[in-house]
Amino acid sequence: MVKLVETTDEILLADTARGFLDRAAPIAHLRGLRDAGQVGDDALWGEMVAMGWAGVLVPEAKGGSDMGHAAAGILAREMGRTLATSPFLSTAVIAATALRQGMNSRSGDRLNQIASGQLRYAIALDETSKFAPTMAEMQARREGNGFRLSGTKRFVVDGAQADRLLVLARTDDGLTVFDLPADRAGITRHVTPAIDSRDVARIDLADVAATGDDVLGKVGDAMAVLAPALQAGQAALAAELSGLTSGAFGRTVGYLKERKQFGVPIGAFQTLQHRAAHLWCETEITAAAVLNAGRLLDTTPDQAELAVSLAKARATATAQLAVQEGVQMHGGIGMTDAFDMGFFMKRARVAAEWLGDYGYHAAIVARHRGF
């Protein structure tokens, strides 16, 4: 039976992460990056690397800490509380998991480089406005002993600053994952910052050369490598949304206690109390779903799909509720850029679409339930 209570070590990890992020990456830090036109902070990521976060899913033999998916979720959750921007999900979670699935001497070296902060990855999957990896149409045509890749990938999170790209393309044998340097000839990156000030890029590949050494896993068997990596990313993104929800909820409750009307705090009004209580209940249920997803990925990953999709769907819906209630309960100030709730709303909206929206994951839950 999965225990949905954090262990002592996990509580310590959360406390350490929260203290660091409150100091190094508060909301004011994100506001400063946005105002300066920056989509990332190399110094902040360097500190995270020094704390071992980049190696959370990297084997100890490759320089990582291998703490597991539940631990990765705890770190992602704490980042979500302050909306810290970093390549953690793309690099330390998704790419690290994919490289472990397609383990060979090259991927082993790259795992070591991820843990040491020498490599950043981005995952180039989406080609339309919706997440549908198995429908990828980017072509990788055979040329001698290698391939030539042509097409466009959209909504590539962390794509502008990545050193390497995991590119999903269609070969004659089926979908294949290519591990390519981001500066290879024929690759052009167009920075398109998302509304939440996160690094997002459109990537064009024009007749890009690839060899068998660039294939991660086996030709035509992309999902053997990609499916576990995507589930890891979805679970961690759900955790980030859970943290975002807690951050927004905390600010809202604080405002209800401070703002007065008719000489009393507005938190004394029963209608607002009911709405806050409902949001708290949803937050707690979602947190349990997120922890369950991480636990199953650590113990029985082949049985984790339902738990991961349930966590992502619930986290998306709960975050949306939290930011909507936050704006409404703050009244007019909640709609202004001077107030931080808008940052939470924007991040929630972007995270809702990345790696599958509510409908995508609700369909997976329904399928597992026999509908």
pLDDT tens digits for range 144-163: 889 999 999 999 999 999 99
Q: Which CATH class is domain 122-221?
A: mainly beta
pLDDT 10s digits, 201-215? 999 999 999 999 999
In this structure, which topology does domain 223-368 adopt according to CATH?
Butyryl-CoA Dehydrogenase, subunit A; domain 3 (1.20.140)
Cα distance between residue 355 and residue 224, in whole Å? 17
What is the mean pLDDT of the segment spanning 234-259?
A: 94
* pLDDT class of 95 with cuts at 50, 70, 90: very high
Sequence-distant (≥ 6) Cβ neighbours of residue 249 within 8 angstroms? 276, 279, 280, 283, 322, 326
* Per-residue confidence (pLDDT) for residue 1, from 0 to 100: 58
* Per-residue confidence (pLDDT) for residue 262, from 0 to 100: 85
Can you give the pTM of this predicted structure?
0.95
Is residue 16 packed enough to be buried (19+ CB in 10 Å), middle (13-18) or exposed (0-12)?
middle
* pLDDT class of 166 with cuts at 50, 70, 90: very high
* Per-residue confidence (pLDDT) for residue 333, from 0 to 100: 77
What integer best gives the mean pLDDT of the chain?
93
Tell me the two tokens of residue 272: 């607002």
* Per-residue confidence (pLDDT) for residue 75, from 0 to 100: 98
Please say whether the beta carbons of 73 and 291 come within 8 A: yes
Q: Report how far Cα 247 is from the mean position of its chain's Cα atoms.
A: 17
* Per-residue confidence (pLDDT) for residue 176, from 0 to 100: 96
What is the mean pLDDT of the segment spanning 305-324?
A: 97
| Domain 8-119: CATH architecture, name and number where available | Orthogonal Bundle (1.10)
Query: 263 versus 12: which is more confidently predicted?
Result: 12
Give me the percent of the chain exceeding a pLDDT of 70: 99
* Per-residue confidence (pLDDT) for residue 266, from 0 to 100: 84
Please say whether the beta carbons of 113 and 162 come within 8 A: no
Query: 281 versus 268: which is more confidently predicted?
Result: 281
Cα distance between residue 279 and residue 319, in whole Å? 10
Domain definitions of the chain by residue range: 8-119, 122-221, 223-368
* Per-residue confidence (pLDDT) for residue 265, from 0 to 100: 87
Statement: residue 335 has pLDDT above 80: no
Statement: residue 132 has pLDDT above 70: yes
Please say whether the beta carbons of 225 and 233 come within 8 A: no
SS3 track for the chain: CCCCCCCHHHHHHHHHHHHHHHHHCCHHHHHHHHHCCCCCCHHHHHHHHHCCHHHCCCCHHHCCCCCCHHHHHHHHHHHHHHCCCCCHHHHHHHHHHHHHHCCCHHHHHHHHHHHCCCCCEEEECCCCCCCCHHHCCCEEEEECCEEEEEEEEEEEECCCCCCEEEEEEEECCEEEEEEEECCCCCEEEEECCCCCCCCEEEEEEEEEEECHHHEECCCCCHHHHHHHHHHHHHHHHHHHHHHHHHHHHHHHHHHHHHCEECCEEHHHCHHHHHHHHHHHHHHHHHHHHHHHHHHHHHHCHHHCHHHHHHHHHHHHHHHHHHHHHHHHHHHHHHHCCCCCHHHHHHHHHHHHHCCCCHHHHHHHHHHHCCC
Cα distance between residue 325 and residue 303, in whole Å? 35
What is the mean pLDDT of the segment spanning 293-318?
A: 97
Identify the bridge partners of residue 124 per DSSP, sorted by sequence position: 167
pLDDT 10s digits, 41-62? 999 999 999 999 999 999 999 9
What is the mean pLDDT of the segment spanning 272-296?
A: 95
Please say whether the beta carbons of 259 and 363 come within 8 A: no
